[in-house]
Amino acid sequence: MASSLTKEATAPGAGGKTFLGHPRGLAFLFLTEMWERYSFYGMRALLVLYLSAGVIDGGLGLDVATATAIYSVYNALVYLLALPGGWLGDRIWGPRKTTAVGAAIIMVGHFTLALPWSGSFYLGLGLIAAGSGLLKANISTMVGHLYPEKNDPRRDAGFSIFYIAINVGAFFAPLTIGTIGQTVNWHLGFAMAGVGMALGLACFLFGFRYLSDESNVVPAPMGDDEKRAIWKKSAIWAAIALVFYGATGAGGLLTVNWLLWPLTILGLVLPIWYLVKMKRDRELSDTEQSRVSAYIWFFLVAAVFWAIYDQTGSTLTLFAQNDTTNTLFGFEFPSSWFQSLNPLYVMALAPVAAWLWIWLNKRGKEPSTLSKFANGVFLIGLSFFVMMLAQAAASGDAKVTPLWLCSVYLIQTIGELTLSPVGLSLTTKLAPEKYGSQMMGVWFLAVTAGDSVIALLQLIGAPTDTEWWFASQGALAVLAGVAVFMFRKKVKPLMGGVH
């Protein structure tokens, strides 16, 4: 594929060829990301369905609350581990090696899921989360390395092309892996995800020679003494965990909740600790302190947004399976196909959104960052009010039309396009200089916090298939949007000139 899209040019390190006018390495990073997202979203499309399916149907037979809690904790862990993943890339292995190791771990994790034992399934989830943290924290960095000149006009377009890979992989994954997993065999579906990641790893290894030399450099290497101290602490904590869980298992007390509760609490405590750490850092200037205060507002609102948005793979998937007629215009399809709607909508609407902001900006009418944020979280809340109506319509044994979920995903995607790119940009603008390279990890912690809150509600037994579940969260998100808009005149001065 890469060779068919190349043409003669003079790009540094690209062997005299380019990929759509960009450094040739972008083609291999594109393919790596596409196949990684294919494996990630394919497995995610099956996860809750497999966990909650009866043993007689080949699933694990867990109750809905536990199944959805496992999904939420897993999703939180993926983004939580992006922080140590970035640290390993910066301090020990460098981005290229860290990405390769992460891809290999993800591949092993998916094939571990394919084994027909419940114990191996949880091990596989842990491996995928760990590998995703390594890969996601470093692969985008390597895209930036392809453009040594920070003002290279191709830079933004390169990231846009790279972003397409995410949605291409996410679109096709439920249509293929979801279909095989639901209609043929769960474990065969998980194995397909492993094959997808294997193809991604092969593309990455083959493209090594086309990547920037900078991607192989460790930016801030650790000294030998520091390495020994880190490995010693890691070994101690690993030994404590091994002894604790070994003793619990030997006593016949070990259940999945012994893993879910600590990880859920960690997902809530770590973001709070990190924000407090930055806020209390006396090395920050007054302007930086003020911007951190402003960022906390956006962080909390983003956590609300992602808490709702990430339920596409849990509560909305179960609604699609149990309460939706999976036929449209006489065509029948697996419930996992609904998860292809979001990437489809993104690919269709992202160019429209980009054009709209430019068009409004030229006329001096582009909404402010605060207004965009408020609109995004308001829309995600509105989507759950629609879900409340859908849940009400599905009372008893009635099943509703797929158009309900089509509408919900459309509203959520518009909200995502309004809030997510703004949040990424805002994070870089409000970041204190001292935490410049770490702030993207802090943004991902908003996802961790949101998913952990949902996991906590699911662990304490909150019913996820009622109008109350959707209405309460929808109301919270709408109120958050209204609050951002109402208090914009107080938040804006805290942003220190950032707009």
Is 320 part of any domain? yes
Q: Identify the domain boundary among 221, 248, 269.
A: 221
Is 385 part of any domain? yes
Is 177 part of any domain? yes
Residue 239 tokens read as 């030994």
- Sign of the alpha-carbon dihedral angle for 14, 16, 19, 20: positive
Helices (H), 174-214: 179-183, 186-206
3-state helix, strand, coil in the chain (%, to 5): 75, 5, 20
Is 30 part of any domain? yes
User: 264 and 186, same structural domain?
Assistant: no
Among candidate residues 333, 458, 493, the one with its CA nearest the CA of residue 74: 458
Q: How many residues does the chain have?
A: 499
User: 118 and 15, same structural domain?
Assistant: yes
Is 235 part of any domain? no
User: 441 and 342, same structural domain?
Assistant: yes
User: 263 and 117, same structural domain?
Assistant: no
How many Cα atoms are found within 13 Å in the side-chain-facing hemisphere of 360?
11
By CB atoms closer than 10 A (0-12, 13-18, 19+), residue 444 is buried
Torsion on CA atoms 90, 92, 97, 102, rounded to nearest 10: -80
User: Any bridge partners for residue 182, and if so which?
Assistant: none
Which helix (DSSP H) or strand (DSSP E) does residue 58 occupy? none
Report yes or no: 179 and 45 within 8 Å, Cβ to Cβ: no
| pLDDT the model gives residue 38 | 96
Count structural domains, the chain: 2
Could you give the CA distance from residue 375 to residue 356 in angstroms, rounded to a whole number? 15
User: 202 and 265, same structural domain?
Assistant: no
Q: What's the CATH code of the domain at 311? A: 1.20.1250.20
Report yes or no: 210 and 23 within 8 Å, Cβ to Cβ: yes
Name every residue whose Cβ is closer than 8 Å to that of residue 269 and which is 6 or more positions away in sequence: none
Sheet of 17-19: strand order equals 6-8, 17-19, 22-23
- Sign of the alpha-carbon dihedral angle for 374, 375, 377, 378: positive
User: 484 and 434, same structural domain?
Assistant: yes
By CB atoms closer than 10 A (0-12, 13-18, 19+), residue 237 is exposed
User: 271 and 204, same structural domain?
Assistant: no
* Structural domain for 273, as ranges: 256-499
For residue 116, report the phi and psi dihedrals to the nearest 5 degrees: -85, 45
- pTM for the whole structure: 0.88
User: 122 and 20, same structural domain?
Assistant: yes
Is 302 part of any domain? yes
Is 36 part of any domain? yes
Is 491 part of any domain? yes
User: 274 and 386, same structural domain?
Assistant: yes
Name every residue whose Cβ is closer than 8 Å to that of residue 308 and which is 6 or more positions away in sequence: 380, 381, 383, 384, 412, 450, 473, 474, 477
User: 167 and 87, same structural domain?
Assistant: yes
Angular region, 64: left φ>0, alpha ψ -120 to 50, beta rest:
alpha
Name every residue whose Cβ is closer than 8 Å to that of residue 53 and which is 6 or more positions away in sequence: 59, 60, 61, 186
Could you give the CA distance from residue 460 to residue 266 in angstroms, rounded to a whole number? 16
User: 216 and 100, same structural domain?
Assistant: yes
Q: Identify the domain boundary among 194, 221, 248.
A: 221
How does DSSP assign 404-425, residue by residue? HHHHHHHHHHHHHHHHHHHHHH
Could you give the CA distance from residue 83 to residue 81 in angstroms, rounded to a whole number? 5
User: 201 and 301, same structural domain?
Assistant: no
Run means of pLDDT, 10 residues per run, the chain, 499 residues: 36 57 88 95 95 90 91 92 85 90 96 88 93 88 80 72 88 96 95 97 93 85 83 88 80 78 91 88 86 89 94 94 87 92 92 84 82 91 96 88 95 92 78 72 89 93 90 93 84 75
Name every residue whose Cβ is closer than 8 Å to that of residue 300 and which is 6 or more positions away in sequence: 480
Q: Identify the domain boundary among 178, 203, 221.
A: 221
Report yes or no: 214 and 43 within 8 Å, Cβ to Cβ: no
